[in-house]
Amino acid sequence: MTRIGLAYIKGAVPGFEDFGNLPTDIVKENGLVNGNRASEELDALIIPGGTLIESNDINMELNKEILKMAKMGKPLIGICAGFQLMSNQIDIGRKSEVPIVKEGLGLIDVEFSPLITSDRVKAKVFDNSFLTKNQTEDVNGFHTHTYGKVVGDAKPLFYSKVQRMNYGDTNEAGDYNIFSGACNDDGNVIGTMIHNILDENPIIVENLLNQIDAKNLEEIYNRNLEVKKHIQSEVGIGSGIKIPQRKINEKPKFLMIGSNGSDSGKTFILTGLAGALRKRGYKVALLKVGPDVRDIIPGLYLTKDRMNEFSSIKIGHLGWSDIESTIAKLNSSDYDIVLIEGVMSVFTGLLNEKVPFSAAEIAMSSNIPMLLMSGVNKGGIETAAIDLVAHANMLEKFGVNVKGIVLNKVYNEDIFDNVVPYIQKNSTVENIFSVGKLKLKTRGFTPEIEIRYDLFTKAAMDLVEESLDIDKIADMASEVKFNRIIPFEEIKDKVI
């Protein structure tokens, strides 16, 4: 029987994609499959993305099995962090004065360093391995990486055409080719930064199946259903938190997490809410306004949901899917609740003539209710309260229903208690919440720079459940439908 393993370890995102519906077995840190060594049981192994480099010290028993399988000539496919794991080394020192270098397994002769990309991509293919044989057309997929610069002497497999790097457009033509896949000299160890490579490119899947001489495809797909069932049975990885299987809402209900600026903690709160709701049995969809879908990955680590084509909502030319088609697809889905993370302040981009260009305009387009938040770490609790009142009142002027306000990183509950009456008196918002300051004891808590999904997500879920009324917040979400994009002239008139 053909056996294809999927690494299921802390820091990985095994629900992020379907991997061609091929994995038949889960492999954990101990490197065992049904009590036997993976190198003896498996015909091939897929290593998914995530924060494997940040979350592990590259000393798991599984890594020994990876090295054995490579030596035996068995196919190994590493995606994103899986590729990094099999490289020579990875510099994860983004925004550090000196490189922070982690050693890889040395199976593919490349090195990694910081480069941010978050595009849907087409990639040019080189016929240097069994996986790319007969793939004459560009392959499809997506990038969502912080450490995506690849250099080295390994045989190239893919060069991805990207429109943006490091938060900026690449050039006037709107595209740039970057090294995004390679293999070892024997061609059996393959790494790529292209997610969904096995889901969107049938020839690639056929090549893998041919390489391992797979016969009974029906059996593979049936076993894959069991693998997915196991993955979906718990919140996160190794948490022991089982998910009740139930349908909660007839149709999806939507709630946007907006803020008055960057560094407010939107990603942290969204992650905690996603895990807390999944723990209660909700099927949760996570979306990001704008192109930087990296922000919702910690939440997807907990919910085990896919990164969908509609996960990034377009603003101007940035992002993957327009709001009208996104709402339509979600309203015909089986999700119970849809959480949308805003970008910067809800009003950032509001007066840009490219419409829509802000989180507020996305909310306006479909009457999406909002949970509005601010960090208090910069101007203090009082300043945050005054700013939130101004934001809530302007949003109300635009017809956006602010259902609740969250003051994040609160350092003094007495001061918070004193500002609650001010917020209630000067706005129509009744539900006011505080979330305390997270006490950081280790690295890995900074989204977009250096993050450990296992630690970050646990801290987020624990603090959110401790601080917020999850059921009350779930009740804030409502069914929505797309109405229209507000023309720029109307927006300008309302602001002035």
Paired with 7 in beta bridges are: 27
- Residue 180 has a pLDDT of 98
Tell me whether the CATH fold assigned to 4-232 matches the one assigned to 253-495: yes
* Domain boundary assignment for the chain: 4-232, 253-495
User: Tokens representing 21?
Assistant: 């519906």
Q: What is the pLDDT of residue 153?
A: 96
Distance between CA atoms of residues 396 and 35, nearest Å: 59
Show the beta-strand stretches assigned E in 328-441. 337-341, 370-375, 402-410, 431-436
* Model pLDDT, residue 445: 63
CATH of domain 4-232: 3.40.50.880
Q: What is the pLDDT of residue 57?
A: 54
pLDDT at 396: 96
Q: Where are the alpha helices (DSSP H) in 170-310?
A: 202-211, 217-231, 266-279, 297-303
Find where tokens 């190994």 sit: 76
CATH code for the domain defined by 253-495: 3.40.50.300
Residue segments in the chain with a per-residue pLDDT below the cut of 70: 55-58, 171-175, 440-450
